[in-house]
Amino acid sequence: MRTNDTSLLFGRCADPGLVAVEHLPGGESDQMMLFWRRGHRIDTTTEPFRPYLWLASADLLRGGPEPAAIEPLTGPGVLGTRARFPTWTALEAAVRRLQKITKRSPTDREAPYWFVNDPVQQYLMDSGRTIGHGLDYDGLRRMQLDIETATAEGYEFSNPDREEDRIIGIGLADNTGWRELLRGDQLDERAMLERFVELVRERDPDVIEGHNIFSFDLDYLIRRAARHGVVLGIGRDGRPPAVRGGRFAAAERVANYPRTDVFGRTVLDTYFLAQIYDVSHRSLPGLGLKDIARHFGIARADREYIDGPEVGRVFRRDPERVLRYLADDLEETAGVALRLAPVYLAQARIVPMSLQNIALRGTAAKIDALMLREYLARRAAIPQPQPAQPFEGGLTEIYEQGVIRNVHHCDVRSLYPSVMLADRIRPASDHQDVFLALLGRLRDVRLAAKDRMRAAATDRDRAFEEAMQSSFKILINSFYGYLGFEGARFNDFDAAARVAARGRELLRAMVAAIREGGGRPIEIDTDGIFFVPPEGDDAALEAFRARVRSVLPPGVELEFDSVWPAMFSYRPKNYALRSADGELLLTGAALRSRGLEPYLRDFIRDWIASKLDGRDAELPALVDRYRRALIRHEFPLDRLARTERLSESPETYAAQRAARGRARSAAVELALASGRPYRTGDQVSYYVTGTRKRVPIHSNARLLADAAPDVRDENVAYYLARLEDLVARLESAGDAGEAKEPTAGSAAAPRPARGSARGPRSPR
């Protein structure tokens, strides 16, 4: 076992400056991999590639495509043979034949064969290479992309399939200080697209960054280029982007999107990176570029703001203002990417995947890649995954609700990884004992980054190390989720259950120690505890902390990481914190749900801020102010509206309604009734009309775009009832005080992973 071997974590073949690897498909080149390395300039080289798959027996290949080599593997794994093929085409032919003769697809858990369906990942795992050695993120050539589009009258958002919704501006910039704005008042759309291709080829970026770049900017450019017959040859070899369906998941957020691959380049979407960041921090006020830029202090005080639907109309009368807006978007995209993306380059030095996949794939896939790389190096047989089994998951308990003062927080440093390492819990199928060796090294990397964060001399270094340790925290904490994930190659549900049980035991011992020491536990959230310590001086506080630490076994470290002047405890995993400098942080879907109308989100912040600041006497006036604003129609209608994206065409919805009587959707019903050609992907904003507080929404809704400017017909009774319901729920928690028993969430199992029984959520 090579627990101290650097190659276990960073691969066996350091290749400084490597920024991209691509497979060259077709003909003789099907045997080759193409490399780009960043130094003073870009160097390009090729190397032979022999793809491979794992098999239970070489006999399965008889009568099929001739393999280049058959290699028996050591150990008890079911897939004990590796077959190499001369080309990727030959490998794919073999897979098709194996699927036919075994009646099992390669994704079938019980299939007697398996392969990684990505030639780049296959090559990196086999060669021991990884991306990014010797480079920091700003050492890459980073290009930012943003476009502005027109919107046809009567619609709220642009759609590339509508002829009128042309591109009116394309902004490009990179980290050398270069910038160019292509103007729709000086060039027609075709000329803009052709110039865009020329600029990308000339500047030759390693990374193309954008906010919502997959679902908007690149998708829009590709579809408008097709309309004009422009070849969007922005790949490093001049080929156009390849588009396929993608699925992105960050905790409870799951989205389908058009995955776009640009040959030889990495596409990074800061919209996705922000969602991953928010899973661990729960601090972003929104996922729009402007919200994120303000949160990180990137936005300039004088930056230009224009509401999305207004961009086209503003452009017609004041194009210079739109160009300022476009330039500001580019600047903020660069800043947000520099804040969020470096951690993925750091992971790319470890995980044998392309940089783009590092940012898009879940942590289970990354752990699989690390495990498989080492098994390949050791020529060891690999297992088939276990079927899903139910087990009790992590611990979430809430002991007090309402406002609590002087709240401290302690966090078990990587609780589940510490338990696995301390108790030597690993997958039974890991006959090479790689799992714990990897986990130990990764934990060391994360804790070292956290220590460097505390010692950092500059804000930039501190931000980088904070983002790095958070990223690695997600990765190493996912080793527990990996054990209980049905799709993980080395999963083990019994081992996951043992880890969770030990974690619950330690957290409950800590709660008991807090109480015995005179403190008050407020809430447990998986691996941390909010609590109020007993009164006393600094020496008494240190003695109390030592008492709590003493219940943990060697190897499990407790960190007292923050103090908050006030906390509003609402529900399990839903709370608000007031920091010493006055910042208000809301955590949990019940307090920050983007499904709430904007006026209710505003009310939550106002109500909680008053409560935490001890201004309870002002709460009746606050509620009355919102009531009066609703009754007097003082809120702009967009503060009352909901916005939904059409996930299917209105025609498909109508056909299904006629055939099966499916549930009605207000957004699609409005799209159908509008007489406008709404398409999949269009966003629909609507508000509720009528006079009674309980009405069927689908038949009492109006498009925001169709609202008469001089007529207010929103359903005041409905919106008042929504407000009153929210007030009642907040006041119930605000007046609850100490709970006699833990509320819902006690020892709750996490959400099942993709149809599996009760176990950890599929790790992101």
pLDDT of residue 750 exceeding 50, the answer is: no
Judgement on whether residues 188 and 75 belong to the same structural domain of the protein: no
Q: Report which of residues 450 and 724 the model is more confident about.
A: 724
pLDDT of residue 698 exceeding 60, the answer is: yes
pLDDT of residue 149 exceeding 50, the answer is: yes
Q: pLDDT band for position 755 (50/70/90)?
A: very low
Tens digits of residue pLDDT in 407-424: 999 988 788 898 999 999
pLDDT of residue 636: 94
3-state helix, strand, coil in the chain (%, to 5): 45, 20, 35
pLDDT of residue 646: 81
231 belongs to a structural domain: yes
Last residue of a domain, one of 519, 549, 572: 572
Judgement on whether residues 423 and 451 belong to the same structural domain of the protein: yes
Judgement on whether residues 151 and 249 belong to the same structural domain of the protein: yes
Tens digits of residue pLDDT in 518-527: 999 999 977 7
**527 and 416 in contact (C-beta within 8 Å)?**
yes
**150 and 315 in contact (C-beta within 8 Å)?**
yes
pLDDT of residue 189: 98
pLDDT of residue 746 exceeding 80, the answer is: no
What span, in angstroms and rounded, lies between the C-alpha atoms of 460 and 61? 55
| Residues 6 or more apart whose Cβ sits within 8 Å of residue 57 | 80, 81, 112
Judgement on whether residues 428 and 548 belong to the same structural domain of the protein: yes
Q: Which domain holds residue 432?
A: 396-572
pLDDT of residue 563: 95
pLDDT of residue 710: 86
pLDDT of residue 295: 92
Residue pointed to by tokens 């406002």? 403
pLDDT of residue 736 exceeding 80, the answer is: no
Where residue 427 sits, what CATH number does that domain have?
A: 3.90.1600.10
Judgement on whether residues 237 and 311 belong to the same structural domain of the protein: yes
Last residue of a domain, one of 548, 572, 596: 572
Judgement on whether residues 497 and 519 belong to the same structural domain of the protein: yes
* 72 bridge partner residues: 81
pLDDT of residue 434 exceeding 80, the answer is: yes
Helix (H) or strand (E) holding 203: helix 189-203
pTM: 0.85
655 belongs to a structural domain: no
543 belongs to a structural domain: yes
744 belongs to a structural domain: no
**644 and 682 in contact (C-beta within 8 Å)?**
no
Judgement on whether residues 112 and 149 belong to the same structural domain of the protein: no
pLDDT of residue 123: 96
Tens digits of residue pLDDT in 266-302: 999 999 999 888 877 777 878 899 999 999 999 999 9
Number of helical (H) and strand (E) elements in the chain, helices listed first: 23, 25
743 belongs to a structural domain: no
What span, in angstroms and rounded, lies between the C-alpha atoms of 358 and 365? 9
**Burial of 139 from C-beta contacts in 10 A (0-12 / 13-18 / 19+):** middle
Judgement on whether residues 122 and 186 belong to the same structural domain of the protein: no
Q: How far is CA 327 from the centre of its chain?
A: 26
Q: How far is CA 151 from the centre of its chain?
A: 29
Of residues 77, 79, 161, 147, the one with CA closest to residue 333:
147
Q: Report which of residues 413 and 627 the model is more confident about.
A: 627
pLDDT of residue 14: 81
pLDDT of residue 168 exceeding 90, the answer is: yes
Give me the percent of the chain exceeding a pLDDT of 90: 66
**106 and 117 in contact (C-beta within 8 Å)?**
yes
pLDDT of residue 740: 43
Tens digits of residue pLDDT in 600-609: 999 999 999 9
Judgement on whether residues 207 and 77 belong to the same structural domain of the protein: no
pLDDT of residue 556: 87
If you average pLDDT over residues 144-150, what whole number do you get? 97
Query: Mean pLDDT lowest for which of 540-544, 548-552, 663-667?
Result: 663-667
Amino acid identity of residue 609, one-letter, is A
474 belongs to a structural domain: yes
**250 and 186 in contact (C-beta within 8 Å)?**
no
294 belongs to a structural domain: yes
Backbone phi, psi, residue 349, to 5°: -70, -15
Helix (H) or strand (E) holding 329: helix 319-340
Tens digits of residue pLDDT in 100-128: 999 999 999 999 999 999 999 999 999 99
If you average pLDDT over residues 162-179, what whole number do you get? 96
Backbone phi, psi, residue 759, to 5°: -160, -170
If you average pLDDT over residues 648-668, what whole number do you get? 85
If you average pLDDT over residues 345-355, what whole number do you get? 93
If you average pLDDT over residues 373-390, what whole number do you get? 96
Q: pLDDT band for position 758 (50/70/90)?
A: very low
Where residue 169 sits, what CATH number does that domain have?
A: 3.30.420.10
Structural domain count of the chain: 3
Judgement on whether residues 230 and 177 belong to the same structural domain of the protein: yes
pLDDT of residue 5: 62
